[in-house]
Amino acid sequence: MGSRAVVLTRKAGVSPNARERLGEDSVLLVEPPGHTPVLVRAVGELLAVRRGEVVVDATVGLGGHARLFAEALGPDGTLIGLDMDPANLELARRNLADVQPRVELIHANFAELPEALASIGVDSIDVLLADLGVSSTQLDEAQRGFSFQREGPLDMRMDPRRTVKAADLVNRLSEKELGDLLYYNAQEFAGRRIARRICEVRREGRITTTTRLADVVAGAVGVDPSSRKSKIHPATRTFLALRMAVNEETANLQALLEAAPSLMKPDGRVGVISFHSVEDKAVKTDFRRRKNEEIYRIATKKPVVADEDERRTNPRSRSAKLRVAVRLASD
Ligand SMILES: C[S@@+](CC[C@H](N)C(=O)[O-])C[C@H]1O[C@@H](n2cnc3c(N)ncnc32)[C@H](O)[C@@H]1O
């Protein structure tokens, strides 16, 4: 793949000087205020978007990676962005208002990508990216209930049309169901203990807030979150497991991986950025299976991770892993 320079800037538009310095092939990525997309260099190099192609950003978020793609696509390209969070889709709309390609932003779950593409008359694509998980805007807003660091209702829905909230799971699932959910979604080895404690506490009244749940979990595992010894907050995995269940993240990813090969043109590139081992394993397993079936060539023998510099400046990048596969031509 080409080794194009990728430059992050906070200013809109491509400065002619930057182009001269970096070469015509360079890609200038305009960073939306307060948001730094992860692994931009590797995404730029491995997905290698060319002028006039059709690109799907399945998790357009704030439009960070999408701007990178827009620069490379030019006026003849098509950029399609999906997000199941309408608030983020609106931010993407603003951040992509001045780009050259045709832009289609769709409020949809990427599990329904084939239907979303059909709704705009697109049946095949050159590039697909999914940058999984939540965005900083979702984490930062207490009312969304994603963060144990901010007091808010136990909600965690990315799509407000969904009916089940985290509070429903915490207060209604049986002890066994809760323990399984914590273990299988987030590999929380203290899952049984946490589930038992949640069930004891909720007998005295519903657990309705993020901070209350975080305290219950910390009590169950006997770790003081403010202690210097605990590397991560003891409720980190519990919150991850609940978020995954509320948004059906494992099933969504499976559906996307399943649909991708039939949507990709020959030589099409598919990239997934995951943030925990359950997701990464699903991507690795899918890519390997399709390599054996001669549907994909794997472009990343090992997942690409952030370098020291990025890890220091963008904490979200620390657990990010990018895997890329290339669609082989079918006979
Ligand atoms: C990490 S952010 C993406 C950030 C984006 N790459 C950027 O640079 O601005 C993940 C986004 O994916 C969305 N999302 C997560 N799962 C989704 C799904 N199944 N379908 C559509 N959007 C999803 C979230 O709402 C969130 O906006």
What does the pLDDT look like over 91-130, one tens digit per residue?
999 999 999 999 999 999 999 999 999 999 999 999 999 9
- The answer to whether the CB of 259 falls within 8 A of the CB of 115 is no
Segment among 93-107, 134-148, 172-186, 223-237 with least mean pLDDT = 223-237
Report the amino acid identity of residue 160. Answer: P
pLDDT tens-digit readout, 260-295: 999 999 999 999 999 999 999 999 999 999 999 999
pLDDT tens-digit readout, 224-233: 777 666 678 9
pLDDT at residue 31 in the model: 47
Task: Give a yes or no: residue 152 inside a domain.
Answer: no
Which of 198, 216, 246 finishes a domain? 246
Please indicate, yes or no, whether the overall pTM of this predicted structure exceeds 0.85.
Answer: yes
pLDDT tens-digit readout, 5-63: 444 444 434 444 444 444 444 444 444 455 689 999 999 999 999 999 999 999 999 99
Instruction: Tell me the average pLDDT across 170-174.
Output: 98
Mutate to test the pocket of ligand 1, among 6, 8, 65, 83 (most ligand atoms within 8 A of CB): 83
pLDDT at residue 253 in the model: 98
State whether residue 324 is helix, strand or coil: strand
Instruction: Tally the domains of the chain.
Output: 2
Total residues belonging to the chain: 331
Q: List phi, psi (to 5°) of 74.
A: 70, -175
Which of 215, 246, 277 finishes a domain? 246
Sequence-separated (6 or more) residues with CB below 8 Å from residue 164: 157, 246
Indicate whether 28 and 128 sit together in one domain.
yes
Angle between helices 64-73 and 86-95 (to 10 degrees): 40
pLDDT at residue 270 in the model: 98
Which ligand 1 atom lies nearest to the CA of residue 108? 21
Which ligand 1 atom lies nearest to the CA of residue 57? 6
- The answer to whether the CB of 317 falls within 8 A of the CB of 65 is no
Indicate whether 242 and 254 sit together in one domain.
no
Which ligand 1 atom lies nearest to the CA of residue 66? 8
Work out whether strand 296-298 and strand 6-9 pair parallel, antiparallel, or are unpaired.
Answer: unpaired
Indicate whether 125 and 22 sit together in one domain.
yes
Task: Give a yes or no: residue 1 inside a domain.
Answer: no
- Ligand 1 centroid to 146 CA: how many Å? 14
Query: How far is it, in rounded angstroms, from Cα 164 to Cα 5?
Result: 44
Rounded to the nearest 10 degrees, how much is the dihedral formed by the CA atoms of 276, 278, 279, 283? 130
- Ligand 1 centroid to 164 CA: how many Å? 19
Give the residue numbers spanning the domain of 191. Answer: 163-246
Task: Give a yes or no: residue 156 inside a domain.
Answer: no
Report the amino acid identity of residue 162. Answer: R
Indicate whether 131 and 255 sit together in one domain.
yes
Closest CA to 314 of 135, 95, 148: 135
Q: What is the CATH number of the domain that holds 229?
A: 1.10.150.170
The residue that leads in pLDDT, 182 or 2, is 182
Joined tokens for residue 66: 């999408």
Q: H-type helices in the chain, by residue range?
A: 16-22, 40-47, 64-73, 86-95, 113-119, 136-140, 166-172, 175-186, 191-202, 210-221, 236-246, 249-263, 277-292, 308-313
Task: Give a yes or no: residue 286 inside a domain.
Answer: yes
Indicate whether 239 and 291 sit together in one domain.
no
Task: Give a yes or no: residue 258 inside a domain.
Answer: yes
The answer, yes or no, to whether residue 241 has pLDDT greater than 70, is yes
- Ligand 1 centroid to 132 CA: how many Å? 6
Q: CA angle, corner 62, sides to 58 and 68, nearest 5? A: 75
pLDDT at residue 9 in the model: 46
Query: How far is it, in rounded angstroms, from Cα 274 to Cα 50?
Result: 24
Indicate whether 171 and 74 sit together in one domain.
no
Which ligand 1 atom lies nearest to the CA of residue 256? 19
Indicate whether 125 and 218 sit together in one domain.
no
Burial of 123 (0-12, 13-18, 19+ CB in 10 A): exposed
- Ligand 1 centroid to 68 CA: how many Å? 16
pLDDT at residue 230 in the model: 61
Average pLDDT along the chain: 90
Query: How far is it, in rounded angstroms, from Cα 178 to Cα 81?
Result: 34
Task: Give a yes or no: residue 44 inside a domain.
Answer: yes
Task: Give a yes or no: residue 147 inside a domain.
Answer: no
Q: What is the CATH number of the domain that holds 115?
A: 3.40.50.150
Query: How far is it, in rounded angstroms, from Cα 42 to Cα 23?
Result: 18
Ligand 1 binding pocket (C-beta < 6 A) is 35, 37, 59, 61-65, 82-85, 88, 109-111, 131, 133-135, 158, 252
pLDDT at residue 330 in the model: 76
Indicate whether 40 and 127 sit together in one domain.
yes
1 confidence band (pLDDT: 50, 70, 90) = very low
Indicate whether 32 and 113 sit together in one domain.
yes
Joined tokens for residue 236: 């980190």
Work out whether strand 321-327 and strand 264-274 pair parallel, antiparallel, or are unpaired.
Answer: antiparallel
pLDDT at residue 243 in the model: 98
pLDDT tens-digit readout, 306-330: 999 999 999 889 999 999 999 999 7
Closest CA to 268 of 288, 297, 292: 297
Strand partners, 326: 269, 297
pLDDT at residue 227 in the model: 67
